[in-house]
Structure 1
């Protein structure tokens, strides 16, 4: 790798294939309250967003306050679903193993969710002491704060780092911090990343094969 000295991964949809699972749980819970939405709606409106923003959207759909235990209930139900169904993103293990430079993970999700999903998918050993959650600093993407924190902790400046993201919110967060960013487009259902990301790829194999040429 010629240009970059560090790679920072998003977690959901980049390291672990959690988006269909977590969003389906959210859709089911929202529909139980009368939201009448589907998975496509969730991908369009919830993907990459912090949980409270998703709750705010659901409240507008049902025209009433969300139950106070909604987020806690979502965490419990989604965690159970993750334990049963989650898998690593295709090709990401080979990509991680090929890296000759430092790397970490920076996510909008809470640290216990990040750790759970990395553990269930067998990825946690690769990211010990390299997990950065927006909940720790109370600043969420599209703020670049979590990426800046990750880069500084790993010992690098933004211009030294390459971020890998699958959501528009995450791509914008990276750009806001002065990072170059790969848009991972395998599930870019709204075709949003091409105009914003520094590079786009639809497979981890392609990312792995092209990293050395950047």
Structure 2
């Protein structure tokens, strides 16, 4: 039996396979303004960051001023892309259904995005009132604030929880809060997670083994 009493899931890249979709929209919009970047650049420089940090990076890549409605347009275009293409991360529904302990989601994304993507992938019924967004507290990873808020609300200490993250920023946020963290490495192209996560695991089935069978 696992020593943990609560699981805190990140959303993008852990529950829903949204990273390639959202980042491709960001690449397309940046390139329309002359940035000349590709999806690998986005994974390396944008993954796990708050939207404003991504916007600031793009602003530094172009010669003209970034349009004031860039973020609004990004949300509209990415939401459309999610509606047509998004899927749950392989094996995550089975993992969730196997859990006998409480769990929740804590994400850097705005709550309407989290809920949209969970609804589109059929995962929303698992979470309902257990959604924690950095936008609600205006503190973003690598600050541990969203994880600390989630743990406290769920009724547990950081030591009783384990976080599942797929970005180095998220892993550092969890560690900064005193949490054990599973680095989900299926798309860890830069091989950064293994050195910093408590566990580095590349499949949901293996995470299930750790949390349920151990």
The superposition leaves residues 105-137 of structure 1 with CA deviations (integer Å, 9 ceiling, x where unpaired) of 000000000000000000000001000000000
Does residue 48 of structure 2 align to residue 54 of structure 1? no
- Alpha-carbon deviation of 1:213? 5.7
Compute the TM-score of the two structures, normalised by the length of structure 1: 0.98
Aligned length: 214
- The CA distance in 2 between the partners of 1:92 and 1:66, in whole Å, is 37
- The CA distance in 1 between the partners of 2:2 and 2:100, in whole Å, is 11
The superposition leaves residues 157-199 of structure 1 with CA deviations (integer Å, 9 ceiling, x where unpaired) of 0000000000000000000000000000000011000000000
Does residue 121 of structure 2 align to residue 121 of structure 1? yes
Does residue 76 of structure 2 align to residue 88 of structure 1? no
- The CA distance in 2 between the partners of 1:169 and 1:114, in whole Å, is 18
Counterpart for residue 2 of structure 1: 2
Does residue 192 of structure 2 align to residue 192 of structure 1? yes
> Which deviates the most, 60-69 or 95-104?
60-69
Does residue 125 of structure 2 align to residue 136 of structure 1? no
- Alpha-carbon deviation of 1:73? 0.1
- Alpha-carbon deviation of 1:64? 3.3
The superposition leaves residues 38-89 of structure 1 with CA deviations (integer Å, 9 ceiling, x where unpaired) of 0000000000000000000001111332100000000000000000000000
SS in 1 for 2:61: helix
Counterpart for residue 13 of structure 1: 13
SS in 2 for 1:195: helix
- Alpha-carbon deviation of 1:3? 1.1
Counterpart for residue 63 of structure 1: 63
- Closer, same or farther: CA 134–19 of 1 in aligned 2, 3 Å: same
Verify the 8 A CA contact 2:98 2:212 in the aligned structure 1: no
Does residue 8 of structure 2 align to residue 23 of structure 1? no
Does residue 143 of structure 2 align to residue 156 of structure 1? no
- Alpha-carbon deviation of 1:211? 1.5
- The CA distance in 1 between the partners of 2:9 and 2:59, in whole Å, is 31
Counterpart for residue 34 of structure 2: 34
Counterpart for residue 204 of structure 2: 204
SS in 1 for 2:196: coil
Structure 1 outlier segments of 4+, above 6 Å: none
Counterpart for residue 109 of structure 2: 109
Verify the 8 A CA contact 2:18 2:82 in the aligned structure 1: yes
Counterpart for residue 73 of structure 1: 73
